[in-house]
A and B are shown apart, each in its own frame.
Chain A
Amino acid sequence: MKLSLTFAAAAALAAGSAFAAGGQRAALLDTLAAQAAKETPGFAGFSAERGRALYLGPHAGGKAETNACAACHTQTPTATGRHYKTGRDIPPMAVSATPKRFTDPAEVEKRFERDCPNVLGRACTAQEKGDFITYLSGQ
């Protein structure tokens, strides 16, 4: 299991011009890691693999039409998503395709607060949030 920081730093380097964005993403992951360390016993860093499972689902507990993050964000994170109900386009979640992803903490938190209950029927834990961002930072 790799540490989140490695992922974020690698993504930032690869993106070049997106270096500042990479820094903001890394800072957000640090905050989440501190929270996860308190919340989750035995927390040992974020996992892209767990993030992928969260993203792709399927999950029980939420709404039937949205049993995975992929229901709106598509199975392929580098592809443009589509809101399952309104039909509106959603820019890709993969950081390689949308370098600004996960850089505005308030925006990110607001969406986790809305999207997780729709899919899981409950809020996401800090570990799940970090896993999710870690997975998409590597996509």
Chain B
Amino acid sequence: MSLRPVRLHIATAVLLLATATAWADEMERVLPVAHAATQKECGECHMAYQPGLLPAASWNRVMDGLADHFGDKATLPDAVAADIRAYLTRNAGRGDGRLLRISEQRWWLHEHDFRADVWRRKEVGSKANCEACHRLAGQGDYDH
């Protein structure tokens, strides 16, 4: 892909970044969403993000705030919301639980250190539009 930055040489990799890199490599593939309600209700306005992309605390915050979800109203019937919350938190990954966004997590920022105009390209539009760059993101494959 044209946006692919030059990978850091292992030899030159800064020790500080090592953890983030190791995490990200684990993330080349995350388990696909295997829960019908999550796929349907959380996959309308953007792709249904895989549970492994955020820690449980972040998912809980997202689910607590659906009435004002990044400026949109995304409320769901209580039973459906509880079901989705259970699925997301049970299969959650790691990261900083104080952050709501995947695109604010350290590992993510480290992998996506692009020039600002990349995000403004018409076909990208938003950091949250994973599928614009990762064609197979919907299947949990971020290696493409």
Contacts and interface: CB of A to CB of B under 8 A. Distances in A.
Provide the main secondary structure of the chain B interface.
loop
Interface in A43-86: 63, 82-83, 85-86
Interface stretch (B29-37, B70-78, B85-93): B70-78
A86 B47 CA distance: 9
Given A83-B45, A88-B46, A114 B74 contact: yes
Contacts of A113: 73
B131 interface: yes
Interface size class of A (residues with CB under 8 A): 10 to 19
B46 A83 contact: yes
Nearest to A114: B73
Interface string A26-44: 0000000000000000000
A88 B127 CA distance: 11
Interface string B33-54: 0000000000001110000000
Contact of A88 (B45, B70, B73): B45
Which 6 pairs between the two chains have the least Cβ-Cβ distance? A87-B125, A87-B129, A86-B46, A87-B126, A88-B46, A114-B73
30 contacts: A63-B71, A82-B125, A83-B45, A83-B46, A85-B45, A85-B70, A85-B72, A85-B125, A85-B126, A86-B45, A86-B46, A86-B125, A86-B126, A86-B129, A87-B123, A87-B124, A87-B126, A87-B128, A87-B129, A87-B132, A88-B45, A88-B46, A88-B129, A88-B131, A113-B73, A114-B73, A114-B74, A117-B73, A118-B72, A118-B73
Interface of B: 45-47, 70-74, 123-126, 128-129, 131-132
